Amino acid sequence: MLQVQFLRDNKTRVLEGLDKRNFKEKHLVEDAVSLDDQRKKIQFELDENLAQMNKISKEIGQLMKEGKREEADQAKAQTANYKESIKELQQSLSETEEKLKSVLYLIPNIPCDKVVAGTSADDNEIVYQSQEVKGIGEGAVPHWELAQKYNLIDFELGVKIAGAGFPVYLGKGARLQRALVQYFLDKNTDAGYLEVNPPHVVNEASGYGTGQLPDKEGQMYFVNEDNLYLIPTAEVPVTNIYRDVILDEKQLPIKNTAFSQCYRREAGSYGAHVRGLNRLHQFEKVEIVRIEKPENSYAALDEMVKHVQGLLEDLELPYRILRLCGGDMGFTSALTYDFEVWSAAQEKWLEVSSVSNFESFQANRLKCRFKSGEGKSQLVHTLNGSAMALPRIMAALLENNQTPDGIKIPKKIAEYTRFDKID
């Protein structure tokens, strides 16, 4: 959530940033400033009334001491009027603050200067590609057929148990999943990330804290009886560890990693692009989250990008890195890099990771600050990245490593699976 003062002081930059995003509701910026003016006016009037009532209350005590009961009674009548006025002003202030918050929740983050304007994924910038790619020739088999041939994943059994988008992993397929999770966690902890095991459900405050609400409410599974949401990513509970927290400067940076199941309704998703593991309602992912001082956050983002690159190098998969354009970025992000791996049999790129800097956007919602050595407090910057999402990694591993004799397992992962081939 952007701060109102930021909207006031940087109006031109804000509107240009919203243009990069193709955001049409730019009037919300003026609405927010207007509501804040209204809030300030009501607050001033409320403070004046409170001050006057306190003054009269003191006078009443003095009048009573002096035996001036009639004058004291007149003063009491005045305080009754002030009390009624104060009650109305407090109600008006509360309503205005809620309206302001509701408007601010609807304004997305402002892209950083590196982000270009664009309307869709077609406008994203390719900033790195590991190698030239091509299909593996006639007869290449997509991962869903390989999964059936080697009894790795049963999609139909998942439909029976839960519905489409909830696959069942079997045998070496299940073991490969577990190996990938352990490998990613080990690499992350070796890089200095503290592993945490968070809840897989969050309350409404947590959803608002990281920006899933109200932006992605329709994409989240909701447990109505308990007013809880199934998490779409471990970013949500891990980042919310620091909600309503004032950190000491010495605690920064904070680096966390977590494995979780992820749940996404993916409402409206259909067609060939969702086949097999391409898009699921439940999947496994390992996340990295960082809490940083503002001046260090972009260096931290570069470090995270290099870390994810290292994971993909170990997996021996062709990959590329894209810097997302304004129209394709998430609501809360100031800058996002997507990682895609090449799917040899499908002959297309599959997104497997997003690494983002949210600057202070989430921190303002979370009320997460840090105190400097001078005792001043300011908002932190938050970052997160997938390290990594498993379904499409699994798809690419199966498709890119298929041979007439079976599926080869990359050396680094074979150390965890304890087998180097699926046959």
What's the whole-number average pLDDT of the chain?
93
Share of the chain above pLDDT 70, in %: 97
Q: Is the pLDDT of residue 135 over 80?
A: no
Q: Tell me if 303 is assigned to a ligand binding site.
A: no
pLDDT tens by residue, 139-179: 789 999 999 999 999 999 999 999 999 999 999 999 999 99
Residues in Cβ contact with 17 at an 8 Å cutoff, skipping those fewer than 6 apart: 110, 111, 326
Q: Tell me if 70 is assigned to a ligand binding site.
A: no
Nearest to 309 by CA among 187, 417, 400, 136: 187
- Beta carbons of 398 and 407 less than 8 angstroms apart: yes
Name the pLDDT band for 8 (thresholds 50, 70, 90).
very high
Q: Is the dihedral of CA 388, 394, 395, 400 positive or negative?
A: positive
Q: Is the pLDDT of residue 128 over 70?
A: yes
Q: What is the pLDDT of residue 86?
A: 94
Q: What is the pLDDT of residue 82?
A: 85
Q: Is the dihedral of CA 210, 215, 220, 223 positive or negative?
A: positive
Name the pLDDT band for 374 (thresholds 50, 70, 90).
confident
Q: Tell me if 265 is assigned to a ligand binding site.
A: yes
Which domains, ranges and CATH numbers included, belong to the chain?
4-105 (1.10.287), 121-422 (3.30.930.10)
> Is the model more confident about 269 or about 377?
377
According to DSSP, the β-strands at 194-195 and 254-263 are parallel
pLDDT tens by residue, 252-284: 999 999 999 999 997 555 555 678 999 999 999
pLDDT tens by residue, 45-66: 999 999 988 888 888 877 777 7
**Average pLDDT of span 203-226:** 91
Burial of 58 (0-12, 13-18, 19+ CB in 10 A): exposed
Q: What is the pLDDT of residue 47?
A: 95
Q: What is the pLDDT of residue 271?
A: 55
Q: Is the pLDDT of residue 408 over 70?
A: yes
> Is the model more confident about 136 or about 411?
411
Residue 335 has which token pair? 């800058």
**CA angle at residue 198 from 193 to 203, to 5 degrees?**
130
**Average pLDDT of span 359-366:** 97
Name the pLDDT band for 31 (thresholds 50, 70, 90).
very high
C-alpha distances out from residue 323 to 158, 326, 334, 335, Å: 35, 10, 11, 8
Nearest to 202 by CA among 242, 226, 223, 230: 230
Q: What is the pLDDT of residue 71?
A: 78
Q: Is the pLDDT of residue 4 over 80?
A: yes
Q: Choose the weakest-confidence range: 239-253, 268-282, 283-297.
A: 268-282
Q: What is the pLDDT of residue 269?
A: 53
> What backbone torsions phi and psi does residue 110 show, to the nearest 5 degrees?
-90, 125
Q: Tell me if 354 is assigned to a ligand binding site.
A: yes
Q: What is the pLDDT of residue 360?
A: 98
Q: Tell me if 351 is assigned to a ligand binding site.
A: yes
pLDDT tens by residue, 136-145: 556 789 999 9
Q: Tell me if 233 is assigned to a ligand binding site.
A: yes
Q: What is the pLDDT of residue 175?
A: 98
Burial of 274 (0-12, 13-18, 19+ CB in 10 A): middle
Q: Tell me if 352 is assigned to a ligand binding site.
A: yes
Q: Tell me if 133 is assigned to a ligand binding site.
A: no
Length of the chain, please? 423
pLDDT tens by residue, 315-351: 999 999 999 999 999 999 999 999 999 998 998 999 9
- Beta carbons of 142 and 276 less than 8 angstroms apart: yes
Q: Tell me if 124 is assigned to a ligand binding site.
A: no
